[in-house]
Chains A and B, each alone.
Chain A
Amino acid sequence: MTVAESQALTFDCETGNYHTFCPISCVAWLYQKIEDSFFLVIGTKTCGYFLQNAMGVMIFAEPRYAMAELEEGDISAKLNDYDELKRLCMQIKRDRNPSVIVWIGTCTTEIIKMDLEGLAPKLEAEIGIPIVVARANGLDYAFTQGEDTVLAAMAARCPDQAPVAQTEKDERNGLSKLLNFGKKKEEIVKEESEYIDHPPLVLFGSLPDPVVTQLTLELKKQGIKVSGWLPAKRFTELPVIEEGYYVCGVNPFLSRTATTLMRRRKCKLIGAPFPIGPDGTRAWVEKICSVFNITPQGLDEREAKIWENLEDYVKLIRGKSVFFMGDNLLEISLARFLVRCGMTINEIGIPYMDKRYQAAELAMLEQACKDMGVPVPSIVEKPDNYNQIQRINQMKPDLVITGMAHANPLEARGINTKWSVEFTFAQIHGFSNARDILELVTRPLRRNNNLKDLGWDKLVKEAHV
């Protein structure tokens, strides 16, 4: 397969034999994000082993997650699921007293058809703690899609009516309370007037708190008020979502959540590119503004200023090629940003491609290729890692963005790699974090500049793959 020369994006689908993280990994960042939660992964030793090793040192920090490890008696239904789950959840309640217990269904609970959605409401009533069920399993989903299943389940838990009393509203609305923290009431009223009158907007996607603040302030500059954020810092602060509210995603892997918000909560989805890179952030803000009939202010200068600050990094990658093996669904947005930085894209591998949810992002990628005069890449859904390695050997990209399973072997063969999972954990959203993305992307290239004269490129004996 060679890079497509046509002007439209091409989509391929391979065998799905690729390496990615199991979607249960989402507990690692979600338990930290939702501070009063407890995540119970109902699965086997295999799931536990993955979490334990993938999360590394975090496991030692008394995390608010645990395995409900299924034993042979559970599999053969010798033990009663309800009683077993009740026993464990009571123990969690006693030891940690969380505001919500999230059950993560796994491959095993799917196969033995454990009715988690059915058991949860009964047990919830009995123990008095909300139980949210998310089936984040490897049969259906890849890596970051785990968050999508959890947030889709959470969306059903958002209060559907703003409380009448103003005081109560202040209690509920965690985000505005947070932003207004320490200010007097008159000031709040005054601040309200800084916003343009528009229908309520709720954003969805789990981001570190500093990034939440940055994006919220970015919209505030345009007079747009963020009424709430799914998820909030605490489960008890989930935003109110009424029929007719506007919602907008901040990450490309949240298609189930978007669907749930549209269909079940009757919200209007703003389909925008994602705020990754200065170009993406600008397009994201502009799209939201256009929906609310607002003329955006000062975005030209803001974006130009950011690009100017990136120039030292952009210089390093301009004209270089990049190959995404695909494992976390951020690939389209990152590729679009890197095209704007002057890179050419060999291939975009991606686990799953929702063309409707990512429509605006795909259009923007196509436009970026056109503007920059580089070939439009082919997008390979459910890639086959073995075939991809063959293509990498042919194309010799300057950089391969890949999982850890392939990174060291590729490096040993003289191919630069960047470990893709880092993009999931680093702060990459908004104008101010664009530099962080390039910090990651250029790291292998900067490292090579340091080592280039040593002649240590290829460190395997046989030339074969």
Chain B
Amino acid sequence: MKLAYWMYAGPAHIGTLRIASSFKNVHAIMHAPLGDDYFNVMRSMLERERNFTPVTASVVDRHVLARGSQEKVVDNITRKDKEETPDLIILTPTCTSSILQEDLQNFVERAQLDAKGDVLLADVNHYRVNELQAADRTLQQVVQFYIEKARKKGELSENKTEKPSVNIIGISTLGFHNQHDCTELKRLMADLGIEVNAVIPEGASVHELKNLPRAWFNLCPYRELGLAAAKYLEEQFGMPYVDITPMGVVETARCIRKIEQVINAQGANVDYEEFINNQTLYVSQAAWFSRSIDCQNLTGKKAVVFGDSTHAAAITKILSREMGIHVVWAGTYCKYDADWFREQVSEYCDEVIVTEDHGAIGDAIARVEPSAIFGTQMERHVGKRLDIPCGVIAAPIHIQNFPIGYKPFMGYEGTNQIADLVYNSFTLGMEDHLLEIFGGHDTKEVITKGISAESDLNWTKDGLAELNKIPGFVRGKVKRNTEKFARERGIANISAEVLYAAKEAVGA
């Protein structure tokens, strides 16, 4: 058992449902108790979805507990098959159903006898994988299912398209800015003269999957979702894949060069250097931004980064390599992919943190006092409490992270968006400090900045008065250092004298 208040990645079935609801005309049936269909609320609210989320539950109640599901799951599958005639129904196990250990595969096979559409059991273990791993696995499973089906029927089209083409793999429902990224990637491919053969799973029909092998290569923009499917296609058809996330100017160029190499190896003859050069210098504003005096002011400023592997790694590289910002630590909650993350960011930050514990991240932020945080919604709230600005760069996210306006993180427009996000985070912080330095309108009492514990120390009136004279942006640090100093020496009341003694001792 683990005491937990907050989690970064959701349970496995959420991943499966994200894949199911991304495809067109695919329905998911959860084998779950009442109330586990909260996914529908999230999709309806966060994505402001106009259509009913194609997810229903085959409810596990007392009767199921006593006698087993018996006909219930099969009936629910065949009923849904009749009502909505989906192409595919994915039976989705949940944490509850995985301990009931019913033979769900058997239900699927029985339902398949009556159902017109296909029926599949999502192969995910609730206690071993999280949302992201489950999504990756389910996408691979669906792709494999339809490739094998087409192969059996002799409908598999392996002829490559005439012009270079790509499958974009991993765009999904409830993904962080996925819709905008997808549009930007399509635009980028068009600029490069590459046809988009398919985008999966978002908006795709399962019938298109048999055409996947027609593409010259696969592009997996996200580390977390799509790689398993890409690897499967590579293994089956020798299709190469590009897994460099085109986020940031340097990485976008690296991704494009890799694409060039991959398609030239298959007989194309393209040279993208001029395109990259033109985009970098004149189209994207990000390269110019890093030369401008605005960005000069950011040099050496301290930042911390936390998120999923894809975004945390990319943002770390952008901050450090493209903007000269000092990334004190970079971290991810994708523990299962820790080695990759370390390898990606080690040279761009002082320290790498891999944890799923938001408390540890909160403390790590409080410890280093960065000028800005780039993290998830949780880090945004830590930032609020510590008065440190935060740019949200990864899920878990709230409704404000599903903007209606065009906000990709990828490609050349993405570099502009990220530059804005970074710059706005820092300037807002600076403005705040300037107000405080010059007196501004700040009359509030100093607040405790500790994350974990209330201070057990007492500040005397003159100590507090002295502390309040210290400019806001270092006040927290001074306070903490003074308290540390007092604690070590067993001083219970912190007066102005103690404050200054501490300053002398530790240079606070």
Residues of A participating in the B interface, judged by any CB pair closer than 8 Å: 16-24, 42, 44-46, 48-50, 52-54, 56, 59-60, 63, 66-72, 74-75, 79, 84-85, 87-88, 91-92, 107-108, 110-112, 137-143, 386, 389, 403-409, 412, 459-460, 465
For residue B83, CB closer than 8 A to chain A, the reply is yes
Instruction: Tell which of B7, B41, B83, B99 touches A75, judged by Cβ atoms closer than 8 Å.
Output: B99
Task: Number of B interface residues at 8 Å Cβ cutoff, please give it.
Answer: 51
Instruction: Tell which of B1, B35, B37, B398 touches A143, judged by Cβ atoms closer than 8 Å.
Output: B35
Q: Which residue of A lies closest to B42 (CB)?
A: A53
User: Is B1 in contact with A107, judged by CB distance below 8 angstroms?
Assistant: no
Residue-wise interface mask of B (4-23) relative to A, using a CB-CB cutoff of 8 A (1 in contact, 0 not): 11110011011000000000
- Answer whether A405 and B41 are a contact pair too, CB < 8 Å, given A17-B56, A74-B1, A75-B127: yes
Cβ of B44: which chain A residues have Cβ within 8 Å of it? 404-409
Q: How many A-B residue pairs have CB under 8 A?
A: 158
Q: Which residue of A lies closest to B46 (CB)?
A: A53
| Minimal beta-carbon separation of B156 from chain A (angstroms) | 31
| Minimal beta-carbon separation of A460 from chain B (angstroms) | 5
User: Is A16 in contact with B34, judged by CB distance below 8 angstroms?
Assistant: yes
Residues of B participating in the A interface, judged by any CB pair closer than 8 Å: 1-7, 10-11, 13-14, 32-38, 40-42, 44-45, 48-53, 56-57, 59-62, 65, 76, 83, 94-96, 99-100, 126-128, 130, 378, 381, 396, 398
User: Is A66 in contact with B45, judged by CB distance below 8 angstroms?
Assistant: no
Cβ of A70: which chain B residues have Cβ within 8 Å of it? 1
User: Is A71 in contact with B65, judged by CB distance below 8 angstroms?
Assistant: no
| Minimal beta-carbon separation of A385 from chain B (angstroms) | 8
User: Is B36 in contact with A46, judged by CB distance below 8 angstroms?
Assistant: yes
| Minimal beta-carbon separation of B360 from chain A (angstroms) | 15
> Residue among B3, B4, B35 with the most chain A CB within 10 A?
B35
Cα A91 to Cα B65 with chains together (Å): 33
User: Is B59 in contact with A16, judged by CB distance below 8 angstroms?
Assistant: yes
> Residue among B3, B6, B56, B83 with the most chain A CB within 10 A?
B3
Q: Which residue of B lies closest to A75 (CB)?
A: B99
Cβ of A74: which chain B residues have Cβ within 8 Å of it? 1
Cβ of A23: which chain B residues have Cβ within 8 Å of it? 35
Q: Which residue of B lies closest to A79 (CB)?
A: B1
- Answer whether A71 and B2 are a contact pair too, CB < 8 Å, given A46-B94, A137-B33, A139-B62: yes
Closest 10 CB pairs of A and B: A22-B35, A138-B33, A405-B40, A412-B50, A84-B1, A45-B11, A44-B95, A138-B35, A60-B381, A72-B127
| Minimal beta-carbon separation of A280 from chain B (angstroms) | 28
User: Is B2 in contact with A44, judged by CB distance below 8 angstroms?
Assistant: no
What would 12 more interface pairs be, CB under 8 Å, given A23-B35, A69-B1, A88-B1?
A22-B34, A46-B94, A46-B95, A49-B7, A49-B11, A50-B38, A54-B41, A69-B3, A71-B127, A75-B99, A139-B34, A404-B44
Cβ of B6: which chain A residues have Cβ within 8 Å of it? 52, 59
| Minimal beta-carbon separation of B367 from chain A (angstroms) | 19
Q: Which residue of B lies closest to A421 (CB)?
A: B41
User: Is B99 in contact with A52, judged by CB distance below 8 angstroms?
Assistant: no
Instruction: Tell which of B32, B33, B35, B50 touches A460, judged by Cβ atoms closer than 8 Å.
Output: B50
User: Is A46 in contact with B11, judged by CB distance below 8 angstroms?
Assistant: yes
Q: Which residue of A lies closest to B79 (CB)?
A: A386
Cβ of B378: which chain A residues have Cβ within 8 Å of it? 60
Cβ of B127: which chain A residues have Cβ within 8 Å of it? 71-72, 75
- Answer whether A111 and B5 are a contact pair too, CB < 8 Å, given A138-B34, A408-B50, A412-B50: no
